[in-house]
Amino acid sequence: RLLADLRARFHTISLVWADGGYAGRLVTWAKTVLSMTVQVVQRTDDLTGFHVVPRRWVVERTFAWISKHRRCVRDYETLPAHHEAMIHIPMIMTMSRRLARTGDW
């Protein structure tokens, strides 16, 4: 459902990165139905120590930004719409601070 909404709103997006849990039928469905490429970023369990996995850091960084806000640290919300709003608010605050710092407007 999320990919279908993404395609409907932003028709120029053609590549989506996904976690290893989304491998399988979703990749072929997105390719045939939505004409969208879903690239699964796999992690390797056989490595020891810290290794950067390509594109996975983007998701982890975003989760860290959201977790800076106290209400997003725990799951207090009961309705999915409230939870979604509590994700939008920290991201709006984060992105508006970043835009204000640039001064390119």
d(CA 37, CA 13): 9
Hey, what are 93's tokens?
Answer: 């605050």
User: For the CA atoms of 98, 99, 103, 105, what is the dihedral angle to 10 degrees?
Assistant: 170
pTM recorded for the entire structure: 0.56
Phi, psi of 101 (to 5 degrees): -70, -30
Q: Where residue 104 falls among pLDDT bands split at 50, 70, 90?
A: low
d(CA 91, CA 61): 12
Residue 78 has pLDDT above 60, yes or no: yes
Paired residues of 54 in beta bridges: none
For the stretch 24-62, pLDDT in tens is 888 899 999 998 999 887 777 777 777 777 777 777 788
Find the length of the chain.
105
Closest CA to 54 of 65, 67, 44: 44
